[in-house]
Amino acid sequence: MLLQQLVNGLTLGAVYTLIALSFSLVMGILGVLNLAIAELFMLGAYFGFTAIIAQLPLPVALAAAMLGSALVAVVIQKVAYEPLRNAPIVTPMLSTLGFSIILQNVATNVWGSDPLQLTDEVLPGRLTLGPVSISTMQLLVMGSTVTLVAILAFVVQKTPAGRALRAVAENRDVARLLGVSAARVTLLAFVLSGVMAGAAGVLIGMHYAVITPYMGVDIGLKAIAVMVIGGTTRIWGALVAGPLIGIAEVMTVAYGGSQVRDFVVYGLMILILLLRPQGILGGSRSEQGQRV
Amino acid sequence: MSTYYAGLLADVGILTLGGLSVYIILATGQLSLGNAGFMGIGAYITSYLTVTLGLAITPALFIAAAASGLIGIIVGFPALRLRGIYLAMATLGFGEMVRSFFLNLSAMGGSSGFHGMKHISVGYIWLWATGVLLVVMLLERSRVWLEMQAVHDDETAAGLVGLNATAIKVGAFGAGAAVAAISGGLFAHHHVYIEPGNFGFERSIDFVLAVILGGSTVGPGALVGSLVLVMLPEYLRFLADWRLAAFGVLLIAVLLVRRQGILDRSLFRRLSLRGAA
Amino acid sequence: MTAPALLSLKNVTKLFGGIRALADVSFDVAPGQIVGVIGPNGAGKTSMFNVITGAYKADSGQVVLAGKDVTNQPPHRIARAGISRTFQNIRLFGGMTVWEHLLVSQPHSESLMRRVLPMRWADPAALRRAEEVLAFFGLEEMKDRNARSLPYGLQRRVEMARAVTARPKLLLLDEPVAGMNHDEAEGIRKLILRLRADGLSVLLIEHDMAFVMNLCDYLHVVDFGAMIAHGRPEDVRADPVVLEAYLGRAA
């Protein structure tokens, strides 16, 4: 059912948007691909699940996920990024990969490598609007995404911290001359990216009701594609690309077979890189410098 | 030698070739996160040639390498338009597309994989690994390698001393693709069963890790890195469940403390002089 | 009776959007000449170099080297045809030693074998030439040092050395003595004279007037992308049009 697939696609897209934003924040401002974001996503799910299993209310679970992942993100920033700030991009990227290996191992040891399942549905109930049926959980995912994105937009556009973020994204040296603390901005970027990834993790975890320590791997790569397609130069590109790719994926699986799904998504990514590197929302090509 | 250790040694040889494939391309300043794609192409072509067409392994490997090299050159052209992390992401996408392609190729088993290859010995693998490594080491003393380094350092200045940066960068992609294909063909005939999942992002990252850890400025670095990647988890067995985490810590430590990797030009020179003495 | 020009620019125009970086520029460089290009900042001097070496595509006009039209050819072909250059902000190869700079800039070899085999065995001629250039520029002692680790003055020498290794016909020098004191500049001046004696023609951009007046056979003055005056140094120096261009800019 086309409309139903659209809803499913939007749900998936919402998660992609959050993770893509997470990648984009660090990449747009620091030029680094943080490969551990997939694990921040995974840990968010685990932190949230731990809260839910302890019978804590839903908002607490969400908060635990976001805070927990943000904290881990800070550790990654201090250990994997900061000391390697001036090295060629490969190095901090591989360093975050080291973290990704560590975090996966930690999760496996703490929670076991078997899938962790929730016994009860977190938010039971469905809403039927004509031919379409949306679960309350799906509404929560989409609603939370919209809220988080709105908050992020506010922070980035309207607060002094956000202005500092954009300044560093545009020109790090000039920003520093103007008194912006690059160190604090970097920290903020990592914290925000942790919050986004953690939220995405707990939301999708609750939606599927089952998680594993390896859930971040594939979705992380996909989110990179989403970031590229939306435009690495404009973090809001993820808002458009997320739902777009989510829907495209769901449609491809429904009508073309699950095997071609990845081919289509990554093919699109490469086409964008070659033909319109600034992404869908990236503005003119000459605006390559503007990141946030 | 026990079969288990023979298996490990085989893995080191195969990974060394993979690392070298990344190294050759990296020498021109291009980071490829998708060489597992070329490995997969090599694996499937070689297997098709030996199993379905009955060719011997050696000519099959040469043919697969040539075919992969051609694809590498074709990929190398659009790659010229991209730099740094954008190129890396594009190659990542390429690797995933190749994997997806083979998932859909029912003629070669699709997701169920392909089998029927005749097993090859560890010795044969190392014949290729040492052969290619020696060729690379010879090449490192040649003018072509200096040209690659010049393109890596400053493409514009390189053009102004008469170097065709396009040919050099595209050529490197082709050469890297060919070497990765050999790695794949050997992998296929050692494990005698292949499936698309063998040639995904994690494999591409293994190749890059071998080079970055082992030494990104000299050919033998790929060998050192492969030894570390394959053997170290064995020695960390005592850490039982925390083996992988310890490995991650080690990786970060090396990156923090010695960026060029374990082996670099001066260390290599010192070691080879001492060996000669 | 004049010898045929080595380099000939004919009505070269380069546009950036609406801005004319080069406006209908024409001039010649005769073999064995040292020609200077001067003018206020932003006048188009470096753009001219970029068009000659193929880094920029000319929107109209021609660049002719020794009778051959090299307009808009890819930079590496122009380099192989015999035009070499140095840069305003030195562009050395960051990971290479001085010696390696002189090896990689050798004349292009058609033989694939010579390029893929170790240089020590396959290309003794290249090694000899590199030694020659090393000695000419007095760089023997630094041959194995990383080129970028050298002091500024020596880096400029390395860049020049790299540029002449392949025995170009024409050498383009972009501000060769920028940031140098009198003695260092004098050293460069002597080097350029020796290079000319060896058969090289030189086209240079400089702001150091004393240096230019002392060295060049002929001067071209550029402002706003157009040629406003040319002649021998002593004539140009007194030309009111030239003074106006410089003073007008300062105002």
Residue A200's Cβ-side half-sphere holds a number of Cα atoms within 13 Å equal to 33
What integer pLDDT is reported at residue C249 of this predicted model? 56
**Rounded CA separation A50/A111 (Å):** 9
User: Which uninterrupted H or E stretch holds B71?
Assistant: helix B57-79
Angle A95-A96-A102 from CA coordinates, rounded to 5°: 95
Detail the DSSP E strand segments found in chain A. 116-117, 126-129, 132-135, 210-211
What integer pLDDT is reported at residue A24 of this predicted model? 87
- A62, A48 contact by CB (below 8 A): yes
Residue reference for tokens 């170099």? C49
What integer pLDDT is reported at residue A255 of this predicted model? 80
- How many CB atoms lie under 10 A from the CB of residue C249? 14
Q: Does any CB of chain A come closer than 8 Å to the CB of residue B56?
A: no
**Rounded CA separation A38/A14 (Å):** 16
Mutate to test the interface with C, among B153, B155, B160 (most CBs of C within 10 A): B160
Contact check, Cβ <8 Å, B99/A31? no
Residue B125 makes CB contacts below 8 A (sequence gap 6+) with B10, B13, B14, B186, B190
Residue numbers in C near B156 (CB within 8 A): 55, 75, 91
Give B113-163 pLDDT, tens digit per residue. 999 999 999 999 999 999 999 999 999 999 999 999 999 999 999 999 999
Question: Considering only CA atoms, which of C247, B93, B27, B33 is closest in space to residue A226?
Answer: B93
pLDDT in tens, chain B (277 residues): 688 889 999 999 999 999 999 999 999 999 999 999 999 999 999 999 999 999 999 999 999 999 999 999 999 999 998 888 889 999 999 999 999 999 989 888 988 999 999 999 999 999 999 999 999 999 999 999 999 999 999 999 999 999 999 999 999 999 999 999 999 999 999 999 999 999 999 999 999 999 988 999 999 999 999 999 999 888 877 877 888 888 889 889 988 998 888 999 888 888 887 765 5
What integer pLDDT is reported at residue B275 of this predicted model? 64
**Rounded CA separation C20/C59 (Å):** 10
Chains that touch C (3 or more CB pairs under 8 A): B
- Edge-first strand listing for the sheet containing C201-205: C83-85, C170-174, C201-205, C34-38, C218-223, C226-231
Chains A and C, touching by 3 or more CB pairs within 8 angstroms: no
What integer pLDDT is reported at residue B128 of this predicted model? 97
The alpha-carbon gap from B56 to the nearest alpha carbon of chain A, in Å, equals 32
Chains A and B, touching by 3 or more CB pairs within 8 angstroms: yes
A83, A84, A274: residue with CB nearest B78: A274
Return the amino acid letter for A56: L
What integer pLDDT is reported at residue C3 of this predicted model? 63
Residue numbers in B near C96 (CB within 8 A): 146, 149-150, 153
What integer pLDDT is reported at residue A283 of this predicted model? 61
The CA distances from residue A95 to A33, A78, A102, in Å, are 10, 11, 11
Residue numbers in C near B153 (CB within 8 A): 93-96
Q: What are the beta bridge partners of residue C203? A: C35, C172
Angle C27-C28-C33 from CA coordinates, rounded to 5°: 135
C104, C116, C162: residue with CB nearest B139: C116
**Torsion-angle region of residue A113: left (phi > 0), alpha (psi -120 to 50) or beta?**
alpha
Q: Helices A2-30 and A182-208: crossing angle, nearest 10°?
A: 160
Record the tokens describing residue A280, joined without a space: 């869908």
Contact check, Cβ <8 Å, B143/C92? no
What integer pLDDT is reported at residue A288 of this predicted model? 42
The alpha-carbon gap from A58 to the nearest alpha carbon of chain B, in Å, equals 31
**Rounded CA separation C29/C63 (Å):** 11
Detail the DSSP E strand segments found in A147-212. 210-211
What integer pLDDT is reported at residue B41 of this predicted model? 97
- How many CB atoms lie under 10 A from the CB of residue C120? 11
Give A233-266 pLDDT, tens digit per residue. 666 788 889 999 999 888 888 887 777 888 888 9
Size of chain B, expressed as the number of residues it contains: 277
pLDDT in tens, chain C (251 residues): 456 788 999 989 888 888 888 888 998 999 999 999 998 887 788 999 999 999 999 899 999 998 899 998 999 999 999 999 999 889 999 999 999 999 999 998 888 888 899 988 888 999 999 999 999 999 999 999 999 999 998 999 999 999 999 999 999 999 999 888 889 899 999 999 999 999 999 999 998 888 998 899 999 999 888 888 889 988 888 888 887 777 665 54
The alpha-carbon gap from B38 to the nearest alpha carbon of chain C, in Å, equals 24
The alpha-carbon gap from A131 to the nearest alpha carbon of chain B, in Å, equals 33
The CA distances from residue B140 to B133, B136, B137, in Å, are 10, 6, 5
**Rounded CA separation A48/A44 (Å):** 6
Q: B with C: how many residue pairs have Cβ under 8 Å apart?
A: 88
**Rounded CA separation B82/B91 (Å):** 10
What integer pLDDT is reported at residue C1 of this predicted model? 43
What integer pLDDT is reported at residue A40 of this predicted model? 95
**Rounded CA separation B19/B214 (Å):** 9
Question: Considering only CA atoms, which of B56, B250, B219, B38 is closest in space to residue B138?
Answer: B219
Closest chain C residue by Cα to residue B27: C95
The pTM score is: 0.90
What integer pLDDT is reported at residue A230 of this predicted model? 85
What integer pLDDT is reported at residue C251 of this predicted model? 46
Contact check, Cβ <8 Å, B96/A109? no
Q: Enumerate residue ranges in chain A where pLDDT < 50.
A: 286-292
Residue numbers in B near C119 (CB within 8 A): 141-143, 146
Contact check, Cβ <8 Å, B92/A87? no
Q: What are the beta bridge partners of residue C231? A: C219
Residue numbers in B near A79 (CB within 8 A): 252
B152, B161, B164: residue with CB nearest C95: B152
Strand pairing category for A126-129 and C83-85? unpaired
Contact check, Cβ <8 Å, B162/C116? no
The alpha-carbon gap from C57 to the nearest alpha carbon of chain B, in Å, equals 15
Q: What are the beta bridge partners of residue A129? A: A132
**Rounded CA separation A217/A211 (Å):** 12
Q: A with B: how many residue pairs have Cβ under 8 Å apart?
A: 121
Residue B101 makes CB contacts below 8 A (sequence gap 6+) with A263
Record the tokens describing residue B2, joined without a space: 């026990």
